[in-house]
Chains A and B, each alone.
Chain A
Amino acid sequence: MTSSSHSQQIETYLRRLRKGLLNMREEDAREIVEELRSHILEKAAAGGELTLAGVNSTLAALGSPEELASQYVTDDLLARAESSRAPWVILRGVFHWATLSVSGFLVFIVCVVGYAFGGSFLIAALAKPLNPRVGLWMLDNGSYSLALGMTGRAKEGRELLGWFLIPIGLSLGGGTMLLTTHFGLWCIRRFRQARQSLGVAGQ
């Protein structure tokens, strides 16, 4: 095997790593790839020249490029979620965590339900002045429905809150969104601390 085929092997590994870092900022991903390129070249050529055995053992010690990339991406998404505090960024971070563990999946479900519930009330409160038929409706079959005043089914029921939907929707929706955000951030913080203390990818 020639030196150029060793280099090709390294480049293939780094390409796979770069592909796994797609969700990260371009500059951060480039820096990670360059740092690992530097590590591989130096370690694989420890005897002065790149050898097949050196390249193979160095790449094996680093592990699969996809798993390595996943560790970086998880850290990046969780760090961004913690600093941004935006619901979609938190959801994105928690969604990635959900792909790693059952606890992540449970946190993701709670966050989705919280944001959906809070978001529905907020949207209904904001839409009420534009379309008075928007409201909390009790349908003839006894079930409650939010904003169904905009559909034909509302004819079968009655609206419960009237204009009170606006203050109630804003406080309930906003409160739920805020609580969900705090819950998501608290879980993310704990998960990051656990990763920090164990130096591992999942929990």
Chain B
Amino acid sequence: MARAGSDDRVSPEKWEVQLRKGCLELAILAALWGGRLYGLEILRHLESGSNLIVSEGTVYPLLSRLKSLGVLQSEWVESDAGHPRKYYSLTPLGRHRARDMARFWEGFSASLSQLLAPLGKGK
């Protein structure tokens, strides 16, 4: 018999948050596809280029995690702002990973859109 556990009672808002968080890595890799950016630039890029609401306290540890996995590399660069900035860029492994993730995402979203099409017609 199916049991309705606490995990099954996920509110739409919680589901949305999980979905956004799940896309965060791909969004960061995509933001860095065009070249190196520092943390705040990545955040601004994500905010302006998508409706991902990104917590700053989540992005910095994630950048560090991606760096430790060899997906990103970083370098400190002096700036006019009076303090150095830590720039991130994709490693060859990161570019490969970004391409793989984007390919999967395209296929996945296309098939899901097909599945969701009847919902739109029923409005």
Q: Identify the A interface with B (CB < 8 A).
A: 31-32, 34-39, 41-43, 61-63, 67-68, 71-72, 75-76, 79, 195-201
B51 contacts partner chain A, Cβ-Cβ < 8 Å: no
Residues of B contacting A: mostly:
helix
Q: Top 5 nearest A-B pairs by Cβ distance?
A: A63-B57, A71-B61, A199-B24, A35-B86, A61-B56
Query: Are B84 and A72 in contact (CB-based, < 8 A)?
Result: no
5 example contacts (A-B, Cβ-Cβ < 8 A) are as follows A41-B81, A61-B57, A72-B64, A198-B18, A200-B58
Contact A43/B64 with A35-B86, A63-B57, A198-B18 known, Cβ cut-off 8 Å? no
B11 contacts partner chain A, Cβ-Cβ < 8 Å: no
CB nearest to B24 among chain A residues: A199
Query: Are A39 and B65 in contact (CB-based, < 8 A)?
Result: no
Q: Which of A39, A43, A67 counts the most chain B CB atoms within 10 A?
A: A39
CB-CB under 8 A from A34, the residues of chain B are 84, 86
Query: Are A63 and B81 in contact (CB-based, < 8 A)?
Result: no
Q: Name A72's contact: one of B56, B61, B85 (CB within 8 Å).
A: B61
In angstroms, Cα B18 to Cα A38, docked, is 29
CB-CB under 8 A from A37, the residues of chain B are 83
In angstroms, Cα B40 to Cα A199, docked, is 17
In angstroms, Cα B113 to Cα A68, docked, is 37
In angstroms, Cα B18 to Cα A200, docked, is 9
Query: Are A41 and B69 in contact (CB-based, < 8 A)?
Result: no
CB nearest to A37 among chain B residues: B83
CB-CB under 8 A from A196, the residues of chain B are 25, 65, 69
B68 contacts partner chain A, Cβ-Cβ < 8 Å: yes
Q: How far is the CB of A138 from chain B (nearest CB, A)?
A: 45
CB-CB under 8 A from A200, the residues of chain B are 21, 58
- B residues 26-55 in Cβ contact with A at 8 Å: 38-40, 55
- B residues 57-116 in Cβ contact with A at 8 Å: 57-62, 64-65, 68-69, 81-86
CB-CB under 8 A from B5, the residues of chain A are none
In angstroms, Cα B61 to Cα A85, docked, is 23
Contact A63/B55 with A71-B61, A75-B65, A199-B62 known, Cβ cut-off 8 Å? yes
Q: Which of B24, B25, B57 counts the most chain A CB atoms within 10 A?
A: B57
CB-CB under 8 A from A38, the residues of chain B are 38-39, 83-86
Query: Are B85 and A67 in contact (CB-based, < 8 A)?
Result: no
B120 contacts partner chain A, Cβ-Cβ < 8 Å: no
In angstroms, Cα B38 to Cα A38, docked, is 10
Q: How far is the CB of B77 from chain A (nearest CB, A)?
A: 10
